[in-house]
A and B are shown apart, each in its own frame.
Chain A
Amino acid sequence: MTVFIIRRLSQSLLVLFITSIIVFAGIYAIGNPIDILIAPDATFAEREQAIRALGLDQTLVEQYGTFLWNALHGDLGRSFVFNQPSIDLILNRMPATLELAFVALFLSLAIGIPLGLWSGLRPNTVLDETIMTGSILGFSLPNFWQGMMLIMIFSVWLGWLPSTGRGEVDTVLGMRTSLTSWSGISHLILPAFNLALFKISLVTRLTRSGVRENMPLDFVKFARAKGLSERRIVSVHVLKNIMIPIVTVVGVEFGGIIAFAIVTETIFAWPGMGKLLIDSIMRLDRPVVVAYLLVVVTLFIVINFVVDILYSLLDPRIRLGSAA
């Protein structure tokens, strides 16, 4: 176990290091941000001064060296546009994204598991066919277009829910959340559902195939022979076994939710870090893009790590030492 953790940690650090090089080198190539940041009528001297102040006069290797040294000290550069540490900008926006992602994750489980159970217990019926075709539709709807349609229907036509922004935000136990007021929740419903729909389809299909795999097994027959109710067999015994693949996939997909939050946040003007990324790409705000990518890669590494360990706890048949 310890060997496994150490090996995974060193691999993760290597991935992080490689990512930082690729990202930094790539961002350097897209254009000279100085042209955007200073007024077009600035004098040559002003321009030179700005370049020096931003460290843009050094060579690529030197800039990377400085960047890496600072990064190891928790400083990922200052945003050219906001003139604030980019890591602060990202971390400021992160709670909004995480809130959106967790609500979406919750929705995908709360809707996906019952749908999957429902269709898996009645295979090849009309209901099953409908749910399965519906899940393919869920996979096929382009996330951004689906978001626009949700806005069009629920905000423009019906006027039930607000279309953009984040509503009232309260601080509960040190966390800023919009789950405490109706204004906050109403702003959260559409983006969270938009983000969740793809995962609902995924969880539905996973649950269904899990049910179909597990129902003919001996432990189900044994539970029936013991006289347990069908309800208890499904909700306790079968569900426990299905949870293994679901936890793994959902864990890995949580990273996907955060990535797709970029699209949802752009459409619903949700003030999270994904929207910040897109804005920063458009404004060539290099430090923020670099900081975002490094923060997200770190987040992914942590998620994958946690999922691996959860996996071994849920399923004692998996031995971490050999799995590595």
Chain B
Amino acid sequence: MTAISLPRLKADSLASRALNGILKSPKATIASVCCILFVVIAVIGPWIAPQNPYDLMQISIMDAKLSPGSESMAGATYWLGTDGQGRDMLSAMIYGLRTSLAVGLVSGIVALGIGTSLGLVAAYYGAPVDTLIMRLVDLMLGFPTILVALMMLALIGQGLGKVMAALVLVQWALFARAVRGAALVEKGKEYVEAATCLGLGKGRILFGHLLPNCLPPLLVIATLQVANAISAEATLSFLGIGLPITEPSLGLLISNGYEVLMSGQYWISVYPGLLLVALVFSINIVGDRLREVLNPRLQP
């Protein structure tokens, strides 16, 4: 039974190593506090936003394109101004943050699941399966993320589910490669042999024993990939092939401000952009720190 509890112990120490590493760096601590704050704002968004920007009863076209700090017809203050439809920018940004974070997290987690499973299977079974999976991985990683996602969305059209599917498609290969690398090293170790001798099932060895020991590089990649996914989704939405107008993410809000940027109505694209940068930047800082602490020897 010790063979089963050993990897668990290591998984616990991973969490504490990560936490300690973050707390030792003031920069990473601030960044993780920001990340938590963003998640909290996104979750409780509908209760704290001054208005529901997509409830037509609450917005008035008379308030369109007001500059930051102006007062609405009804007397409320628009701290960050309003957009072309008279929506409060602050509220629109809170709702946009929800969409952006949800897309990034969900697609990241699904890609993590698929990539990890395939990577473990490739490492464990070896030759024909491994070759097939790794060829696919090479093929995927041979093309830039944005191009593959763009191709796919150009093919299947836009929509929330489709954007997430495209983001999963471009992310799984990174996870698969990292897990396979780590698992190949772990596979030769004695605890795997011990587990095999105990007669444990393949699934249990793969996910119960190998997986926990492959976690450090996964944690780093997963963190960085959430940031990448958020950024990629924003880019796709900006290009007009990402999320539809009914599911406004930060990228779509920025895109709305693009046409009026030249006429000086800077706030429509600047503020959502700043929020997007703050979000992606904080996640990347945390990810970078995790890499330093867990040091899975990744490329920069």
Partner of B144, one of A151, A208, A255, A282: A255
**A143 to B150 Cα, complex, angstroms:** 15
Q: Mark out the residues of chain A between 132 and 156 whose CB falls within 8 Å of any chain B CB in the assembled complex.
A: 133, 136-137, 139-145, 148-149, 151-152, 156
**Of the 9-residue stretches A26-34, A60-68, A82-90, A99-107, which lies at the interface with chain B?**
A26-34
Also in contact, A137 and B281, with CB within 8 A (given A151-B261, A263-B239) = yes
A15 interface contact, C-beta 8 A? yes
Number of residues on chain A facing chain B (CB within 8 A)? 47
Write the B122-165 contact mask toward A (1 if CB under 8 angstroms, else 0). Answer: 00000000000000000100111011001110111100000000
Also in contact, A26 and B155, with CB within 8 A (given A139-B284, A142-B231, A152-B261) = yes
Q: B residues within 8 A CB of A22?
A: 155
Q: Is the CB of B239 within 8 A of A15?
A: no
**Of the 9-residue stretches B34-42, B211-219, B265-273, which lies at the interface with chain A?**
B265-273
A244 interface contact, C-beta 8 A? no
**A15 to B300 Cα, complex, angstroms:** 28
A262 interface contact, C-beta 8 A? yes
Q: A residues within 8 A CB of B244?
A: none
**A254 to B162 Cα, complex, angstroms:** 28
Q: B residues within 8 A CB of A141?
A: 277
A313 interface contact, C-beta 8 A? no
Number of residues on chain B facing chain A (CB within 8 A)? 43
Residue of B154, B277, B284 with highest tally of chain A CB at under 10 A: B154
Q: Is the CB of A144 within 8 A of B235?
A: yes
**A263 to B240 Cα, complex, angstroms:** 11
Q: Is the CB of A145 within 8 A of B276?
A: yes
Q: B residues within 8 A CB of A117?
A: none
Q: Is the CB of A145 within 8 A of B241?
A: no
Q: Is the CB of A296 within 8 A of B147?
A: yes
Q: Mark out the residues of chain B between 39 and 76 whose CB falls within 8 Å of any chain A CB in the assembled complex.
A: none
B262 interface contact, C-beta 8 A? yes
**A277 to B261 Cα, complex, angstroms:** 24
A/B pair count, beta carbons within 8 Å: 116
**A262 to B266 Cα, complex, angstroms:** 23
Q: Is the CB of B277 within 8 A of A144?
A: no
**Smallest CB–CB gap between B272 and chain A, Å?**
8
What is the chain B residue whose CB lies nearest that of A30?
Answer: B157
B93 interface contact, C-beta 8 A? no
What is the chain B residue whose CB lies nearest that of A256?
Answer: B144
Partner of B155, one of A23, A144, A151: A23
Q: Is the CB of A202 within 8 A of B300?
A: yes
Q: B residues within 8 A CB of A208?
A: 300
Q: Is the CB of A140 within 8 A of B231?
A: yes
Q: Is the CB of A144 within 8 A of B300?
A: no
Partner of A262, one of B146, B156, B234, B280: B146
B27 interface contact, C-beta 8 A? yes
Q: Is the CB of B288 within 8 A of A136?
A: yes
Q: Is the CB of B238 within 8 A of A152?
A: no
Q: A residues within 8 A CB of B288?
A: 136
Write the A251-281 contact mask toward B (1 if CB under 8 angstroms, else 0). Answer: 0000110011011001100000000011001
Q: A residues within 8 A CB of B239?
A: 144, 262-263, 266, 278
Beyond A15-B142, A144-B239, A156-B262, 6 extra complex contacts between A and B, CB < 8 Å? A29-B155, A133-B27, A206-B299, A260-B144, A262-B150, A266-B239
On A, residues with C-beta under 8 Å from B are 15, 22-23, 26-27, 29-30, 133, 136-137, 139-145, 148-149, 151-152, 156, 163, 202, 205-206, 208-209, 249, 255-256, 259-260, 262-263, 266-267, 277-278, 281-282, 289, 293, 296-297, 300, 304
